[in-house]
Amino acid sequence: MNIPPLIHVVDDDDSLRTALLRLLESAGYEARGYASTGEFLLQPPLDRPGCVLLDLRLPGPSGLDLQDALAHHGVGLPVIFLTGHGDVASSVRAMKAGAVDFLAKPVERQTLFEAIDRALQLDARARTNRLEAESLRERFASLTKREREVVDGIAAGQLNKQVAHELGMAERTVKLHRAHAMEKLGVTSAAELGGLAERFRRLSEE
Amino acid sequence: MHRSALSILNRRRRGSDLRASRRFVRWTAAAMCLGLLAATGELASSNPPLTNVLVLYSNGRLLPANLEGDRGFRQAVGSLDAARVAPSYEFLDAPRFSGPAFESIYAAYLRDKYASQAPQVIVAVGEDALSFIVRHRDDLFPRIPIVHAGVGQSFLSSLAQLPADIVGAPADFSFEKTIETALNWHPNARRLIIVTGASRQDHALEAQARSEVTRFANRVQVEFLTGLPTSAVLEALSELGSDAVVFTPGYFADGDGRVFDPVQSVTAMAAASNAPLYGPFTTFIGVGVVGGSMPSFEAIGRQAGEIFHQILEGTDPGRLRLPRAVPQTLHVDWRQVRRWGIDEAKIPADAVVHFKRPTLLEAYRTEAVLLSLLVVLQGALIVGLLIERRRRRSAEETERAQRDELARASRLAMAGELTGSIAHEINQPLGAILSNADAAELILESGGDRNGELRNILADIRRDDLRASEVVRSLRSLLARHELEHRPFDLGDAARDVESLLRAEAEERGVTFTLAVEPIPLPMVGDRVHMQQVLINLALNGMDAVAGVPEDRRRVDVAVGKPGNGMALVVRDRGHGILPEHRPRLFEPFYSTKNGGMGLGLSIARTLVEAQGGRISVESDGSTGSVFTVTLAAGDRGTRRVEEPA
């Protein structure tokens, strides 16, 4: 299922915010506007794909503060900064903090759309990764301890005999655990198993 | 003594006592008589006998000449002599009374009158008196010394050789000098009119005149008006023109037989005459003659008095030290000089000038000099002050121009500081315009009837465009060359105009900025741009001050209002404040507490505020922040405001 992404426009300038919303909607995006970071954070964290268009200088917590807050809450929406100032130091800080892009007002629509699309892509991929990570976690969580150990050994490239020796089990027991794990994990070959385990390990590290 | 004597008399009424008192009274009376005799004897023996003097005048008692002469005589005689002298004054009253018959009556009168008090000296005044005395002397007062006075040399010469005891200083009564003066002072004169009278004395004067005037015959035409009735004389004189001068010794009697004092006759003549009048006697000065050359009667009297004094001292008349003849002096009536336009340069320095009012300059020379000195000084002072004023004006001009330049430089610098926020203020509406335009384009591409939305978009675009141009406009007025204005404006509006700029700047720096304007009219008269400049300056200073403090203190609050009669602009910050040692010098130029600050902002601010009659001051405790207050006069006095309909 595909929930269309929602773009959040946070800018205290009513006129500009309205214009941006109009533009985005005319372009086919779904967008919502907020006059301040506070107003935005009052919304329950949405689990909907999208991105945030953020004015750098806002009353109250700044755009950068919001970015930190979002990250802290585990709301992984990508952030695009808009600014009327063109201040170099701020832009560097913003990019280092993980902003997707840093745009100057007035912003050309092409530039804006490209940035948004890029952000949405990032967001989509992030979501997919997150889902996948979630699913893997579930699947791996269903393994018993012994099965898990066997999987780790095979993922490391060891033969059955080596795993048996390592874990102090009979080779027949290893083969049995391997079959059960592969069935639980939904893989049909050792290579697949190895690949899956590797992916799991990587995703867990992110 | 009298009382005691009486009481003695009263008390002692008895015989012996009475006898005693009678005796007492007799002795007292005798003593008193003796005393009186002695006193009289004293007086008699100590005083020399009084000298009888007979002063015989030729004319009447009140003849002015006689009065003057008498004054001079008495001056010379002095007070000492006056005590020893018993003068008697007799008057022949010529020409009214004359002739042998009168003379013999008069001589008899004199003889009888002075029989018992014969004069020891006789003073004969005038020719008539002298000739009378000479004629009757042997008869009246033989061998009595005679002092003559006021007798002309020519007359003396005409008499037979005078005996040695008839002495005197002749007076020069010649007319020549007077006539000479008259002709000299009126060079245009062609005619010399000489007026004399009908009496015997007048005839003598006429004869003198005729003889003396011959030498002028080649210069002027000489005409005599002799023995005419006064009316004829006056008429003739009134018909004279500018080519004539008149000389007259006056007359005692005219052709009608009317009798005058010569002064009276001259007065009448001077009033009627159309030509200038000259006469030979001092008594004429002041009645209308221009002047003349004459011996003063007073001098004549004085001379006679001196001679008399010597005789009184006992000098033998034959051995007298006679004074020289009484000389003539030129007398002139200044008023007549002016009247006839006589050249003042012709008047000799030794002339006696009568009736000349000293000019103010002459009378008050010192004062005049001082005054003119004062005036000159004052003039110099005025010129000096005017020059000073011009110099000061031009200096003020220069100063004003420089101040305006400096104020502008400061504004430009501030604008430089504000570029970030300026850019922001403009980019906001520009951004909205662009996105709106893009949206409209997409809407149009999508087709369909969305005109309402398009209309909204266009309205928003217009509004944002105006917003941007507002920013540019207020910026332009801030940056442009600006000369000090003095116009009414509202302080609240002026502050609100720059609010967005300051707010943007504050956001840029992460500072909270508030502007509170009292919601009432805040009219004042002055320079709007300068006031905005001051506000921006103070606000930016405040933002600088809170740069390093914790977030809850990073605020600058501005209040504009009308506490009381005046208006106030207050900028408060919560920075570190200003240390006491900096406070006195804070508004000085080139004094800065900031790193890299030029120190001009506050001094310019103060200049601008004070140029509008306001004051700027600061309060700070040195730790919790500062408050800058600008007070100004409200400018709504006398301003008529149109009441807006509610």
Give DSSP secondary structure letters for B194-224. EEE-SSHHHHHHHHHHHHHHGGGTTTSEEEE
Q: State which residue of chain A sits closest to B442, comparing Cα positions.
A: A26
CB contact under 8 Å between A16 and B442, yes or no, is no
Least confident segment among A43-57, A81-95, B13-27: B13-27
Mean residue pLDDT across chain A:
82
- Give the per-residue pLDDT at A24: 95
Higher pLDDT, B360 or B612: B612
Cβ proximity of B268 and B234 under 8 Å: yes
- Give the per-residue pLDDT at A29: 94
What is the Cα–Cα distance from A170 to A163, expressed in whole angstroms?
9
Q: State which residue of chain B sits closest to A86, comparing Cα positions.
A: B420
Residue where the block lists tokens 């400096």: B406
Burial of A182 (0-12, 13-18, 19+ CB in 10 A): buried
- Give the per-residue pLDDT at B384: 94
Least confident segment among A78-87, A160-169, B336-345, B514-523: A78-87
Mean pLDDT of A172-201: 83
Nearest-Cα distance to chain A for B451, in Å, is 14
- Give the per-residue pLDDT at B641: 41
* Bond preceding residue A44 cis, omega within 30 of 0: no
What is the Cα–Cα distance from A73 to A45, expressed in whole angstroms?
8
CB contact under 8 Å between A106 and B423, yes or no, is no
Quick: pLDDT tens for A7-49. 999 988 899 999 999 999 999 999 999 988 888 878 766 678 8
Quick: pLDDT tens for A159-184. 888 888 888 888 888 888 888 888 88
Mean pLDDT of B208-227: 90
Judge whether residue B638 has pLDDT over 50.
Answer: no
Q: Is B623 helix (H, G, I), strand (E, B) or coil?
A: coil
A contacts of B429 (beta carbons < 8 Å): 15-16
Q: Is B420 on the interface with A (CB under 8 A)?
A: yes
What is the Cα–Cα distance from B310 to B303, expressed in whole angstroms?
11
Least confident segment among A54-63, A145-154, B61-70: A54-63
> Reading across the β-sheet that carries B626-632, which strands appear in turn?
B512-517, B555-561, B567-573, B626-632, B615-620
Higher pLDDT, B350 or B45: B350
Judge whether residue B1 has pLDDT over 50.
Answer: no
CB contact under 8 Å between B427 and A106, yes or no, is yes
Mean pLDDT of B558-569: 90
CB contact under 8 Å between B434 and A15, yes or no, is no
Measured CA distances, B323 to B158, B160, B170, B326, B621 (Å): 21, 22, 9, 8, 110
Quick: pLDDT tens for B161-184. 778 788 888 887 888 889 999 999
Nearest-Cα distance to chain A for B396, in Å, is 43
Q: Is B490 helix (H, G, I), strand (E, B) or coil?
A: strand
Mean pLDDT of A95-99: 74
Q: State which residue of chain B sits closest to A103, comparing Cα positions.
A: B431
- Give the per-residue pLDDT at B40: 54
Judge whether residue A196 has pLDDT over 70.
Answer: yes
CB contact under 8 Å between B510 and A62, yes or no, is yes
How big, in percent rounded to 5, are the helix, strand and coil portions of chain A? Answer: 60, 10, 30
CB contact under 8 Å between B428 and A18, yes or no, is no
Strands (DSSP E) contained in A87-156 are 101-104
CB contact under 8 Å between B438 and A109, yes or no, is yes
Percent of chain A with pLDDT over 70: 87
B contacts of A104 (beta carbons < 8 Å): 427
- Give the per-residue pLDDT at B233: 92
Q: Is B510 on the interface with A (CB under 8 A)?
A: yes
Q: Is A20 on the interface with B (CB under 8 A)?
A: yes
The whole model's pTM is what? 0.47
pLDDT confidence of B399, banded at 50, 70, 90?
Answer: confident
Amino acid letter for position A45: P
Mean residue pLDDT across chain B:
83
Q: Is B443 on the interface with A (CB under 8 A)?
A: yes
pLDDT confidence of B305, banded at 50, 70, 90?
Answer: confident
- Give the per-residue pLDDT at B572: 93
Shortest CA distance to B507 belongs to which of B418, B575, B570?
Answer: B418
Mean pLDDT of B67-96: 81
- Give the per-residue pLDDT at B155: 79
- Give the per-residue pLDDT at A45: 63
Least confident segment among B3-17, B216-230, B378-392: B3-17
Q: Is B457 on the interface with A (CB under 8 A)?
A: yes
Nearest-Cα distance to chain A for B541, in Å, is 21
pLDDT confidence of B639, banded at 50, 70, 90?
Answer: very low
Which of B309-313, B322-326, B368-372 is most confident? B368-372
- Give the per-residue pLDDT at A22: 93
Cβ proximity of B621 and B575 under 8 Å: no
pLDDT confidence of B7, banded at 50, 70, 90?
Answer: low
Shortest CA distance to B300 belongs to which of B126, B90, B55, B176?
Answer: B126
ipTM surpasses cut 0.95: no
Q: Is A61 on the interface with B (CB under 8 A)?
A: no
Instruction: Tell me which DSSP letter residue B584 carries.
Output: G
| Whole-angstrom Cα Rg for chain B | 58
Percent of chain B with pLDDT over 70: 89
Burial of B32 (0-12, 13-18, 19+ CB in 10 A): exposed
Least confident segment among B310-319, B346-355, B386-395: B310-319
CB contact under 8 Å between B432 and A57, yes or no, is no
Nearest-Cα distance to chain B for A135, in Å, is 41
Cβ proximity of A106 and B435 under 8 Å: yes
Cβ proximity of B421 and B505 under 8 Å: yes
